[in-house]
C-alpha cells in the first residue's frame, strides 16, 4: 500500500483521525460532566458511583469524596487542559495527513505542523507524566528537522534547471 496520495495509508489515517477527534470530544464532554457530578454533587455522585461499582466491584471510586477541596477544584481544569491538548494534537495530525493525502510531503506548512505537534506532545507527556510519549515527541522533533531539510532539498530540486 502506498503511503502518500489518494487511497493511501495517509488517507486512511486521516479518516481515523477525524473519527478520533469526535470520539475524544464527545467522550471528554460526557466524562467531564460525570466527573464534575462525582466531585461536587453528592446525590448524583452516589448514583454514578453505585453504577460503576455494579460494573466493577473492586472499583474504589468512592475515594474521590475524600479528596481535598483544592484537589477537587484543580482536577477539572487539569482534565480540561489535557483534553484540549489531545484535541489540538489530533487536529494538527489531521492537517498533516490531509497534506500527505494531497501528495504534499516536503513543504513548509508540514514543518510548522510537525513542530506544533511535537511541542503539544511534549506538553501533554509532561502533564500526564508519560515518558514513552515524551520519547515519541523527541523523535517527532527530529522528524521535524528531517522534513525541514527535505523541504530545502525539494525547493532546490524544483529550482534546478
Contact residues: other proteins, CB under 8 A: 155-156, 159-161
What Cα–Cα distance (Å) separates residue 26 from each residue in 86, 142, 153? 13, 33, 42
* Of residues 63 and 156, the one with the C-beta less far from other proteins: 156
Q: Is the dihedral of CA 97, 136, 32, 60 positive or negative?
A: positive
Whole-number minimum distance, CB 156 to other proteins, in Å?
A: 5
Angle at the Cα of 87 from the Cα atoms of 85 and 90, rounded to 5 degrees: 110
* Of residues 129 and 159, the one with the C-beta less far from other proteins: 159
Q: Which cell is 60 given? A: 474504589
* Of residues 2 and 152, the one with the C-beta less far from other proteins: 152
User: Which H or E run includes 103?
Assistant: none
Whole-number minimum distance, CB 33 to other proteins, in Å?
A: 56
* Of residues 55 and 159, the one with the C-beta less far from other proteins: 159
* Of residues 63 and 158, the one with the C-beta less far from other proteins: 158
Whole-number minimum distance, CB 144 to other proteins, in Å?
A: 23
Whole-number minimum distance, CB 107 to other proteins, in Å?
A: 17
d(CA 90, CA 93): 5
Whole-number minimum distance, CB 106 to other proteins, in Å?
A: 15
CB 79, CB 67: distance < 8 Å: no
Residue pointed to by grid coordinates 514513552:
132
CA dihedral 37, 86, 14, 104 (to 10 degrees): 160
Amino acid at each position: 500500500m502506498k503511503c502518500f496520495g489518494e487511497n493511501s495509508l495517509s488517507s486512511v489515517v486521516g479518516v481515523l483521525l477525524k473519527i478520533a477527534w469526535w470520539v475524544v470530544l464527545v467522550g471528554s464532554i460526557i466524562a467531564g460532566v460525570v466527573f464534575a457530578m462525582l466531585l461536587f454533587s453528592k446525590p448524583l455522585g452516589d448514583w454514578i458511583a453505585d453504577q460503576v461499582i455494579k460494573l466493577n466491584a473492586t472499583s474504589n471510586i468512592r475515594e474521590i469524596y475524600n479528596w481535598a477541596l483544592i484537589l477537587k477544584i484543580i482536577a477539572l481544569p487539569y482534565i480540561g487542559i489535557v483534553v484540549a491538548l489531545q484535541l489540538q494534537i489530533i487536529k494538527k495530525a489531521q492537517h498533516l495527513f490531509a497534506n500527505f493525502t494531497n501528495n504534499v510531503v516536503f513543504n513548509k506548512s508540514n514543518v510548522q505542523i510537525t513542530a506544533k505537534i511535537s511541542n503539544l506532545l511534549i506538553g501533554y507527556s509532561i502533564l500526564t507524566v508519560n515518558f514513552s510519549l515524551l520519547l515519541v515527541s523527541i523523535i517527532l522533533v527530529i522528524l521535524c528537522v528531517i522534513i525541514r531539510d527535505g523541504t530545502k532539498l525539494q525547493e532546490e530540486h524544483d529550482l534546478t534547471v
